[in-house]
Amino acid sequence: MAKISITWIIKNQRGQIKGPYTTIEVLNFISGGTFSGEEQITKYPGGEWTTISKEPEFYEKILETLENQLKDSTPIPKEPKNETKNVNKAKVNTPNLDETVAVPADQRSVVKQTIIPQQAPKAPTATSSPESLKQFLSQQKPDVIELKSIDTERKKDSLDTLRWPIFGAILIAALALIYFGLFDDESHEASDKIILIAPGASKDVLKQNEIDARVTKSLQLVSMDTPEKYAEAQSVLVSTIENSIKNIKARMVLCVVYKELWVYSRQNSNDQKAILQVAKQTKSLNKIDPAGMLCEAVKLVTEGRYSEAQSVVDKAMEKDYTNFFLYQLKGEILEHENQKLVAENFYQKAKELSGQWVKPVFSQAMINAKLNDTNKAYQLFAAALKINKQHKNSIFGLGILEANRGQQDKAISYITNGLSLDGMMDKNIESQGIESLVEIYLIKGDKKKANELANLNLSKNPSKKSAIHLCDRLGGCDKSVVKNAKPDEELFFSCQSLFRQKEYLQSQAECKSAFELNKKNGAAALTAGESLWFLGQSMEAISWIEKAIKSDPKNYKAYLKKAEFLSDRFDFIEAERVLMQADYVSGKTSYEVQRGFAYLAFKKRDYPSTLKLAEKALKNYDADLESIILYSSAARNMAVAFKVSSQKDQEQRQKLAQDAYAYALKAIELDSTSIQAQINYAKVIATRQGVEIGGDYLIELIKLYPTLYEYRIALAEIYIEEEHFKQAIEELQKVLAINSKDKKALMAIAKSYFQVGDQDRATTAYLTASNLDPSDAEPIFEVAKIYMESGKIDLSLIQFERVLGLNKKYPKANFYIGRLMILKGNYSEAEKFAEIEKKMYPQLTDPYLLIAEIKYISKNYSDCAAEYARATNFGSQPAAVYVKAAKCYRLSGQLDMAQGFIDIAAEKESGFEEIYKEQGALFESRGDTISAIRSYCKYAELSPNSKDQDLIKSQIQALGGECGD
């Protein structure tokens, strides 16, 4: 196999992409006039765009071409439209131009599809036999597949662009670049990150034999197990998928390619979206096909959700036990879980089924090296190199083994050979190999060579501790590479990876370090804050989010995260202020900001506003999963709380329930692996079809993912809603047995204990949750309510004051202190705290009701009536509120107003007994004795065991009446 060389892709003046080409091919194109020097060029994969004339490797050739053109005084005619002759016909070794590279959809333009010979071996299906899988891999040649022709483009872009003015401009620009020293090799070094490319819209263009040939070609590239070959395979597969709509095999292989390229990618949101898109599309083609399941598992692995991925892989393997990709993935998951011996068995099976794939052979070799089975590891590395002689990871693996065995010359030979090869490789293995060489040369007494290699290692890994320590030990390293390097980027890359794997303790540490190295790296501060939040350090988390905002004031996502955290801490006023800032910074166009407002409304239990705001976000981006879940959850909560008193009410409730279901279903369709989408769907069907149906759905998910305690917590929450508290406690105890520090489970089990009357256990659970995050006021608030409920007034007051110490804007904290003051007989203090609550949360009805109660006790009936009336302005209230308002209006002499409120109460809940007691008093005030007796009798009938039963009977008798008349 030829040595892997640097390749390039070209973008012409029309924005069309061509390539990849080798350096020699690009030089030939320049000589032949195909490229003028004004085109954009980048190393492939992962380089940065620049003009060809600015690339040092092509500058001399451009000058040479210009010189030749200046000598030729004959005008260069344009080629006729239909002429098919090749401009480079005279050149013997001019490469074929019909090649392609997959690029983002907005930059792609497939000009011509080249038909691949029909005699190419047919690509195996997911259920093909091991023999056929071996055959297709062994029969392929490492040719680059031809996907795009630039022949027509060459006619348009060739010699007519090489006119005098352009030549002059290029020449002047080139000379200026030289003069100002812009041809700096370091500035043109290719990025070491590969971009994951999602296919654009598909159309049926290719015939089946063409599809089969392309899939076969991609599998041959995959078999080599190098980043460059995977990147080539990505190009082939993306183009194939774009030109064949229902091609599930190509999508499956592309998912595998994504997994292999993931460690070499930027791992940013665009890379994640590419994987999500292909996984979703593959699953939608056939929900039970192993190909879709494999793609789903790949998505989960890249998100660090290994236990879920293993369940999906196991399910897929039940349907297809010959798919070597599944065995390889299962082995990797097991190895991640430190089950090395079991993992090796799966690698062995993947090797047997594939026949020619290097990956499982190398994976086996690495496991045996870790298990110190040197001989077996050596044989496996050698076996990998028989398939691909330039497999750098295996070459380095052999070198490291030889170094460990004391075979110094062999180690030098292997590792030096590996270093001479182009292409990317595992950075840890490469560094370990170079460090082994350093030690060997030190033993040999060649300190100069050792220093050279230590410098090389440091330049490749400027932030790696072992590389820095080795240089410190030798004392001859050029530390300027460390100063000039960007170690914060490597740390940030690592911290993001740890964050996805939910390793929050390590993640926050690495992100903090990255930020300390570069105070402009706001994204590192943001991820540090998110990690700290998951560790229960909410105040420190918010402080790191604030650092992110200070570092990059234009990053509205940092504002959104701060607002989310503040909302979760019930600091609604500050959360709204931060969201307003985010809205301004984003230019008032971001759907994410609208979603932030929707989330704030949801936390405030303002569900109608949640619906409106989530809908507004979805108008800007209809596939926003979080907005869809918010809408569904808010609609469900409204349906649950909806009081039905008429046919119209019933219809409204049904519509809300239907909307909740429709949006929940849409969320599942968008991302079936989303835990929150699955939980929301289960809760919606529990509301719509009954707790058993919703519970059963979650129980099935628990069976699939037994280690994911989120589903057990959700099941417990459904039980709590339906007041099945003992069942909820059972589920939550299972969660806490797995993770005793799960705050959400502790809060839920505390609530359940309280509902079954076990106040001591409830208090203990709340206090345990508080210890996990001492800055969170919520568990203390709940403890204070328990103390108040049990009559421990002073203890309750202390806890509520603690709440205000943690969060002075905590909703209802001042309200409850006011209520405690009433119990202590301090009405002026009670009213003061109620007024504070009302000022902070003017839309909250509780402080108005509390002030009304205080006014009633103080016999200030006019003000009492006014406060109750204000409370009813904030939406529908329970019938009891209207009855109390009527009572204050009656006692203040406003009988007509009192009757109006009684009528409203009767419309809302005609069976509420207090209505008739107050109605009797109102009739009595009007002098309507008969109606008063009738109303009092109705009250006595509806509440035969009321405490004032004797008093009511006495009142009826005093009016000269008797019930039953």
* pLDDT tens-place string over residues 778-829: 999 999 999 999 999 999 999 999 999 988 889 999 999 999 999 999 999 9
Instruction: Detail the DSSP E strand segments found in 492-555.
Output: none
State yes or no: cis peptide before 45, omega within 30 of 0: yes
Reported as a single tens digit per residue, the pLDDT across 419-443 is 999 999 998 999 999 999 999 999 9
Give the pLDDT band (50/70/90) at residue 49: low
Burial (CB count <10 Å: 0-12, 13-18, 19+), residue 185:
exposed
Cα–Cα dist 471/464, whole Å: 11
List Cα–Cα distances, 64 to 89, 101, 178, 415, in angstroms: 19, 28, 16, 39
Report the Cα 383 to chain-centroid distance in Å: 39
Q: Is the pLDDT of residue 94 over 60?
A: no
Reported as a single tens digit per residue, the pLDDT across 333-350 is 999 888 999 999 999 999
Q: Quote the pLDDT of residue 461.
A: 80
The residues that bridge with 9 in the sheet, in sequence order, are 42
Delineate the domains of the chain, giving CATH numbers in brackets. Answer: 1-78+89-113+148-192 (no CATH), 331-484 (1.25.40.10), 773-844 (1.25.40.10), 849-958 (1.25.40.10)
Burial (CB count <10 Å: 0-12, 13-18, 19+), residue 423:
middle
Reported as a single tens digit per residue, the pLDDT across 872-886 is 888 778 899 999 999
CB 528 within 8 A of CB 508: yes
Give the pLDDT band (50/70/90) at residue 117: very low
Name the amino acid, one letter, at 899: Q
Q: Quote the pLDDT of residue 134.
A: 45
At 41, phi and psi to the nearest 5? -140, 150
Residues 198-232: b if buried by 16+ CB within 10 A, e if exposed: bbbeeeeebeebbbbbbbbbbbbbbbbbbbbbbbb
Cα–Cα dist 609/596, whole Å: 12
CA angle 696, 747, 695 (to 5 degrees): 5
Angle of the 306-319 helix axis to the 324-336 helix axis, nearest 10: 150
Query: For residue 101, how many other CB atoms are within 10 A of its CB?
Result: 27
Report the Cα 827 to chain-centroid distance in Å: 51
Cα–Cα dist 190/23, whole Å: 14
Q: Is the pLDDT of residue 78 over 80?
A: no
Name the amino acid, one letter, at 890: R
The residues that bridge with 22 in the sheet, in sequence order, are 7
Cα–Cα dist 212/222, whole Å: 15
Q: Quote the pLDDT of residue 190.
A: 36
The residues that bridge with 21 in the sheet, in sequence order, are 8
The DSSP symbol for 10 reads E
Pairing of strands 40-44, 17-22: unpaired
Q: Is the pLDDT of residue 627 over 70?
A: yes
List Cα–Cα distances, 477 to 412, 439, 767, in angstroms: 21, 15, 55
What does the block give as tokens for 473? 């030990």
Q: Quote the pLDDT of residue 7.
A: 64
Cβ within 8 Å of residue 105, ≥6 positions away: 198, 199, 200, 201
Phi/psi-derived region of residue 373, left when phi > 0, alpha when psi is between -120 and 50, beta in every other case: beta
Handedness of CA 520, 524, 526, 529 (dihedral sign): negative
Cα–Cα dist 447/441, whole Å: 7
Nearest to 45 by CA among 260, 205, 220: 260
Across 18-32, 172-186, 720-734, least confident range: 172-186
Pairing of strands 7-11, 40-44: antiparallel
More confident residue, 908 or 479: 908
Cα–Cα dist 849/846, whole Å: 5
Across 25-34, 560-569, 575-584, 741-750, least confident range: 25-34
The mean pLDDT of the chain is: 82
Report the Cα 749 to chain-centroid distance in Å: 28
Report the Cα 426 to chain-centroid distance in Å: 25
List Cα–Cα distances, 148 to 123, 229, 732, in angstroms: 21, 18, 58
CB 236 within 8 A of CB 218: yes
Nearest to 512 by CA among 502, 503, 501, 523: 523
pTM above 0.85, yes or no: no
CB 130 within 8 A of CB 353: yes
Reported as a single tens digit per residue, the pLDDT across 600-614 is 999 998 999 999 999
Reported as a single tens digit per residue, the pLDDT across 366-401 is 999 999 999 999 999 999 999 999 999 999 999 999
At 465, phi and psi to the nearest 5? -60, -40
Give the pLDDT band (50/70/90) at residue 13: low
What does the block give as tokens for 237? 């597969």
Q: Percent of the chain having pLDDT more than 90? A: 53
Cα–Cα dist 225/580, whole Å: 50
What does the block give as tokens for 403? 């170094």
Query: For residue 739, how many other CB atoms are within 10 A of its CB?
Result: 12
What does the block give as tokens for 962? 């008797």
Burial (CB count <10 Å: 0-12, 13-18, 19+), residue 383:
middle
Based on DSSP, count helices (H) and strands (E) in the chain, helices before strands: 48, 4
Name the amino acid, one letter, at 632: S
Q: Percent of the chain having pLDDT more than 70? A: 81
3-class secondary structure, 552: coil
Residue entry with tokens 């004032």:
948
The residues that bridge with 50 in the sheet, in sequence order, are 41
Cα–Cα dist 914/918, whole Å: 6
Tell me the residue length of the chain: 965
Cα–Cα dist 755/163, whole Å: 86
Angle of the 227-242 helix axis to the 248-262 helix axis, nearest 10: 150
Cα–Cα dist 217/220, whole Å: 5
Residue entry with tokens 């709590």:
720
Give the pLDDT band (50/70/90) at residue 570: confident
Q: Is the pLDDT of residue 725 over 90?
A: yes
Reported as a single tens digit per residue, the pLDDT across 490-539 is 788 888 888 888 889 999 998 998 899 889 889 899 999 999 998 888 88
Give the pLDDT band (50/70/90) at residue 266: confident
Strand order in the sheet with 50-51: 17-22, 7-11, 40-44, 50-51
Residues 401-416: b if buried by 16+ CB within 10 A, e if exposed: bbbeeebbeebbebbe
Mean pLDDT for the stretch of residues 744-759: 96
Query: For residue 920, how many other CB atoms are within 10 A of its CB?
Result: 25
Residues 579-601: b if buried by 16+ CB within 10 A, e if exposed: bebbbebbeeebbbbbbbbbbbb
Handedness of CA 636, 638, 643, 649 (dihedral sign): negative
**For the chain, what percentages of helix, strand and coil (3-state, to nearest 5) are there?**
70, 0, 30
Cα–Cα dist 537/340, whole Å: 35
